């Protein structure tokens, strides 16, 4: 079986988490697009497993949650006429520790209450103590937080107030102007000064910059939901464990106390190789025409 050298695997993985498209990676690294795809799948499965194993008993004090939009196959309005098997709108839900900047939990789904429940249930299982939680005004969070935490959380919503939507072709992709905010206490005793979603919203920008699939007005969007999830899993694990935070001078996982050293891309590549199943043994050889 042909096996890519470690340096080549590290190059491909590094380009994936820096926002390069899969076809540009195949050209630069001089490998087949199928090789890049297979490595992405293996990396995604490994990183999902590592995140589930390592991100446990997180001693956070403030957690911020948000969701970021993307699409798979086609935008929702074009699903009926699109080729292949489009999924439409896809939302990536994230929960970020405001102090360590670590992504504690994430979930890829729609924007329904069920997706919010999945995020909050997973977040609860990864925390070691009571936290102050802040979300935006999306109503799906209310039931999800209550079901996951009950009264064992200091929860508030930051509701943004917007003006009129801008009009004209030059403002087609511009958001409405934010005219103010309103902080609403929901459960417990959240500190008003720390009711904020600024850090997790800044993380949304990092997600778009580090994932080619989130780039607007291009054809780089995901064509398969599984590949979309695998790319995000790789990015989040790299961000948490292998990327030096410029302000903290350590990885977010080290700042959160769930890692003692900074991971390298070589470490991730080795874990991917160790996690890969052994090839199946070939059966007995039969001559052509033999019964």
- Of 128, 123, 126, 129, nearest to 145 (Cα)? 123
Residue 31, CA distances (Å) to 43, 86, 155, 220 in order: 17, 27, 49, 19
| Amino acid 1: pLDDT | 41
Decide: 30 and 8 in contact? Cβ < 8 Å: no
| Amino acid 84: pLDDT | 80
Give the 3-state secondary structure of residue 131: coil
Query: Across the beta sheet with 103-109, what order do the strands follow?
Result: 103-109, 88-97, 62-72, 132-135, 154-162, 178-187
31 Cβ contact partners less than 8 Å away, ≥ 6 residues apart: 4, 8, 12, 25
Give the C-alpha separation, 264 to 199, whole Å.
Answer: 25
Please provide residue 96's backbone torsions phi and psi, each rounded to the nearest 5 degrees: -115, 135
pTM above threshold 0.85: yes
- Of 237, 276, 207, 214, nearest to 104 (Cα)? 237
Enumerate the domain spans of the chain.
6-275
CATH code 1.10.260.40 for 6-275: no
How confident is the prediction along the chain (291 residues), in pLDDT tens digits per residue?
468 999 999 999 999 999 899 999 999 999 999 999 999 999 999 999 999 999 999 999 999 999 999 999 999 998 988 888 788 999 999 999 999 999 999 999 999 999 999 999 999 999 999 999 999 999 999 999 999 999 999 999 999 888 777 676 666 667 777 788 899 999 999 999 999 999 999 999 999 999 989 988 888 899 999 999 999 999 999 999 999 999 999 999 999 999 999 999 999 999 999 887 766 666 666 666 554
């Amino acid at each position: 079986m042909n096996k890519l050298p470690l340096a080549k695997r590290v190059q491909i993985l590094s380009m994936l988490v820096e926002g390069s498209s899969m076809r540009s990676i195949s050209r630069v690294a001089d490998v087949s697009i199928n090789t890049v795809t297979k490595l992405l799948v293996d990396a995604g499965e490994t990183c999902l497993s590592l995140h589930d194993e390592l991100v446990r008993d997180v001693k956070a004090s403030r957690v911020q949650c948000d969701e970021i939009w993307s699409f798979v196959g086609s935008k929702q309005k074009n699903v009926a006429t699109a080729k292949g098997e489009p999924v439409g709108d896809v939302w990536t839900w994230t929960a970020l520790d405001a102090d360590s900047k670590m992504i504690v939990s994430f979930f890829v789904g729609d924007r329904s209450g069920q997706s919010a429940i999945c995020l909050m249930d997973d977040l609860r299982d990864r925390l070691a103590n009571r936290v102050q939680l802040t979300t935006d005004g999306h109503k799906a969070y209310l039931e999800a937080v209550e079901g996951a935490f009950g009264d064992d959380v200091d929860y508030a919503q930051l509701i943004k107030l917007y003006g009129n939507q801008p009009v004209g072709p030059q403002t087609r992709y511009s958001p409405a102007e934010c005219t103010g905010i309103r902080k609403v206490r929901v459960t417990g005793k959240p500190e008003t000064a720390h009711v904020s979603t600024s850090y997790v919203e800044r993380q949304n920008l990092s997600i778009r910059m580090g994932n080619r699939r989130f780039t607007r007005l291009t054809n780089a969007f995901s064509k398969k939901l599984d590949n979309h999830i695998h790319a995000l899993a790789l990015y989040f694990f790299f961000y948490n464990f292998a990327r030096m935070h410029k302000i903290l001078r350590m990885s977010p996982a080290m700042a959160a106390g769930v890692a003692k050293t900074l991971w390298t891309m070589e470490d991730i590549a080795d874990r991917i190789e160790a996690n890969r199943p052994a090839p199946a043994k070939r059966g007995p050889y039969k001559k052509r025409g033999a019964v």
